[in-house]
Structure 1
């Protein structure tokens, strides 16, 4: 329940709405409790069921004073006129009762949706803050489900009952006070029955949270499956695997249907069970109360007032019952949200981190070793190399040799397990992480673009003029094709840039890297999977952007690395050869083998 209290602690940020809602609920409670019971003595006197009380009471009993004022109204106004004014009063009372009912909900709405806004914002910010290592063991669909469905479940299941949780005690307190005032013994008898009924209801729902957690996990599985299917449609259609995917989805969907039916049935049993138990309690109350009336230990009108007050307790109690079901269901979603929010990010700037945005002399790997989380095998081991300012360093090796890991360590996507990486002699872990990453321009094989315009994709995360954007596009050989698009730089390129060709997307990512004018470029397999013409344009763009910049290149193709100042050949996470192309090609070793096979992977 700690997560629930943390969630509810956010109410302090919406103090005004909360106070006004509590005030409205308090007034609603008053008008609810007094609306009918006050009419009982009036009609009893009006129809001569009880004698009028013409003399001002000497004591302070509320019941006597009510009888006195009702008697005075009937005597002074006459029965018909008194009835008229009481009816007017009744309309006014119910008007204000419903006015305060609405205002309680009105003031609660900003609180409910404000907390959800804050929760969703915090979760999204956390996604951006967490290191890449967190995502290695997470499903994308599950994370999307947490941000959307789980947050919505919290709103539906927990915050949706806040008004009843805060409103019900106020109404119940007023009604219980009224019941105790009427007959304390009868009140104690009733609440012994209510406690017994509550224990029965509690036993019905003790597994709801666990089952709700399973439901949300299945939703995450479905979301992941749909996301993978849409992303892999080309492969699915190419392999005629539609039926395979359909069968797989139907199996997961059927399991989800069965579990959801079970959970909903259990949840929906709350209201009937609580109503049945409530009716049972009321029935016993009617029997016992009538017995007291027959024995003349309780006046009939007082007993009916007691029954009415008890009914005002039953409805909020039913709300509490439903709230319990819903909160248990929502807690499963809240637990998943808190699991993400409570995940520590170890890759952050140290207190007093150094501000550094330029490369003066060199980047140095000093006996660097690295293991991925939950993996005992070294992805890089005992790597030492100097990358001087202005050099182009190429990384070659088979898949899994450690090339991508090498470049991922530079902007601290991961931190080294052993050794150090320094820039101008400063450990990169001592540099402010924002400054560190601004030193790098990154171009990857998978051209990662967003559902936005070309201009916004180019200036992504920065504030650049249109002229600067166009100049970067010219350097990347992208300006000509952009000008031919319907809206030029303001053309929306679609989801992941799929309205563009592979080469166009690649050149746009180069333009994005160039626009920041970084001192260091990382080109991670940037030219694989391109046709000859696209590769020529991209290669030309890369040669232009690498001028006067320090560049670390990972490539499949020989043409990308032939002009490198230093080539590092990696095998099993270790540098096994290094040097210039013309020297390495004459050595017997893996580099010569790669060149001969034209298999730079």
Structure 2
């Protein structure tokens, strides 16, 4: 519960204090009602009592009931307000923390799990808090005050209440010990269920193309069945509380009358018997209040196992220590001649024992266009991820403007970079919001048009307009259109360094050539890194780095590499005709 209290601001603490005060007043009012009932019972059985006296006491009972109802409404409002605000803050903390994760951090969780924690888990916590704030405060106060009242009036009856409370706490402890492990498993299974559903919805075109609906239905059914069986165990275990509480309540009533009958038979006078009977009425009312409070409390306890697990999962995210640490530098030397330098860089993913990159070294001078080419899986894209600090190098260092990337703040580092990923990622909105991504005010129409023109997206943007709708993921655009919008987004940023990670693959050769020509003439002052599979895309670069199985297999210009590097020549011969090779 510490996570909940950490999410409280002064306002929520104030609401909680008010809630506690209201609950205490409500408990006092509720406990007054049995006393008035006892008075009415005594007045009815006492000679000389008038109807006016009985009605007056009854009026006090009615007043206490009305005030209790009014305070209950206020208490519920304050508790719900505090719980909702606390969970809103908690949800914000999880979202902000998730945004700070690098790619290396995210691999410790699944995307489906992070979504579940931000939505399902916090909703579970909010539901329990809205109900639980009042109930968890009321039940102990009711128990303590009521037992105190009972022991003051007749200590013989207080032992019954104490034994009942002890039995209740023991049973709750046993049930929680059985339910919490299963609840923890249940939340993980729900993560798996979300993964299955997310995979199906994301890949629905492939699923239908391969007639694999039945296969996915079986995967869903298996996970869904596991969720159902685990849920059944947890609910069945906690469902034992209801019959137990009913039995406990009946047992208390039976014990009250048994002890009361014994005390009345031993009393020596009618006055003493009347007093004992009055105490029985009062205690029965008090015992009923205690048990009813705890019966309502059982609702919370039935939800508590999953809530405790949800809280631990939220803590796991918020307290996670990021692998990528921020530096302190916010800028480099803009006159430094070398824009990017890799010095003996090696890298391996956390789950891999072998290095993906081994002893990579190269220099890219300011304003140059550098290209990376090699077989699929050779490590080209990994180089771009390391520049972006999505991962930390295992050995060596990466310098930008002569400064190690670890010394920059992540924000400052990425401000220098314009990045286009292999898979075009677009967001729900329009063309403008996707190109001027993250910018709400002072959007430059001139820069928008320039970025679209360089990216060779002007033809279709003119057709649909800058306010043309873009669906989530850009599903209403073709692959080439999505890539060109993604390229325009990077160009709109007017960055010092552009990274194009195999993002020309969906473009035809003519568009590819025109785009590279525009990049060369319109972004002369910027350094450009191009990861590509096509020789035609990289051949005009100032420097080409050939990557083979995570190592640098050659560095040079297109002409030099054709004559001196066997691997590059082999790639070129597989893509270009002899005439094209001779021309090159």
TM-score (normalised: structure 1): 0.89
Matched, 1:598 2:575: yes
> Secondary structure at 1:449's aligned position in 2?
coil
Shift of 1:21: 1.0
> Secondary structure at 1:511's aligned position in 2?
helix
For the 8 Å contact 2:112–2:194, the answer to whether it is kept is yes
1:177-217 residue CA offsets vs partner (Å, 9 max, x unmatched): 21121122421343124323542453344210111122211
> Secondary structure at 2:528's aligned position in 1?
strand
Matched, 1:584 2:561: yes
CA distance in 1, matches of 2:167, 2:145: 22
For the 8 Å contact 2:374–2:548, the answer to whether it is kept is yes
Partner of 2:7 in structure 1? 10
The 1:357/1:311 distance shift into structure 2, 3 A limit, reads farther
Matched, 1:572 2:546: no
Shift of 1:353: 3.1
Shift of 1:470: 3.3
Matched, 1:465 2:463: no
Shift of 1:444: 1.8
The 1:107/1:165 distance shift into structure 2, 3 A limit, reads same
Shift of 1:245: 1.3
The 1:274/1:42 distance shift into structure 2, 3 A limit, reads closer
For the 8 Å contact 2:347–2:358, the answer to whether it is kept is yes
CA distance in 2, matches of 1:432, 1:88: 70
Structure 1's unaligned 5+ residue stretches are 53-73
Matched, 1:355 2:334: no
TM-score (normalised: structure 2): 0.91
Shift of 1:8: 3.2
Matched, 1:556 2:527: no
Which residues of 2 match residues 59-74 of structure 1 at below 5 A? none
What's the C-alpha RMSD, in Å, of the aligned pairs? Answer: 2.2
Matched, 1:483 2:462: yes
Q: 1:215 aligns with which of 186, 197, 201?
A: 186
1:112-164 residue CA offsets vs partner (Å, 9 max, x unmatched): 11111111111111111011112235332222112111122222345532221
The 1:126/1:543 distance shift into structure 2, 3 A limit, reads same
Shift of 1:318: 2.5
Shift of 1:455: 1.5
> Secondary structure at 1:206's aligned position in 2?
helix
Partner of 1:66 in structure 2? none
1:78-127 residue CA offsets vs partner (Å, 9 max, x unmatched): x3333444443333221101001111101111111111111111111111
The 1:247/1:451 distance shift into structure 2, 3 A limit, reads same
CA distance in 1, matches of 2:139, 2:436: 53
Deviates more, 1:124-133 or 1:279-288: 279-288
Shift of 1:512: 1.0
Matched, 1:129 2:100: yes
> Secondary structure at 2:370's aligned position in 1?
strand
1:296-333 residue CA offsets vs partner (Å, 9 max, x unmatched): 27621122112211222112222344433322221112
> Secondary structure at 1:548's aligned position in 2?
coil
Partner of 2:262 in structure 1? 291
The 1:505/1:223 distance shift into structure 2, 3 A limit, reads same
CA distance in 2, matches of 1:161, 1:377: 51
For the 8 Å contact 2:334–2:401, the answer to whether it is kept is no
Shift of 1:466: 4.2
Deviates more, 1:204-213 or 1:358-367: 358-367
The 1:139/1:472 distance shift into structure 2, 3 A limit, reads same
Shift of 1:34: 0.4
Which residues of 2 match residues 7-406 of structure 1 at below 5 A? 7-11=4-8, 13=10, 14-45=12-43, 47=44, 49-50=45-46, 79-157=50-128, 160-296=131-267, 299-350=276-327, 352-356=328-332, 358=334, 360-362=336-338, 363-406=340-383
For the 8 Å contact 1:358–1:439, the answer to whether it is kept is no
CA distance in 1, matches of 2:565, 2:511: 33
For the 8 Å contact 1:394–1:568, the answer to whether it is kept is yes
Q: 1:433 aligns with which of 410, 432, 437?
A: 410
Partner of 2:579 in structure 1? none
CA distance in 2, matches of 1:108, 1:359: 59
Structure 2's unaligned 5+ residue stretches are 577-584
CA distance in 1, matches of 2:259, 2:28: 28
CA distance in 1, matches of 2:390, 2:537: 24
CA distance in 1, matches of 2:322, 2:39: 68
Deviates more, 1:130-139 or 1:493-502: 130-139
For the 8 Å contact 2:175–2:238, the answer to whether it is kept is no
- Count of aligned pairs: 566
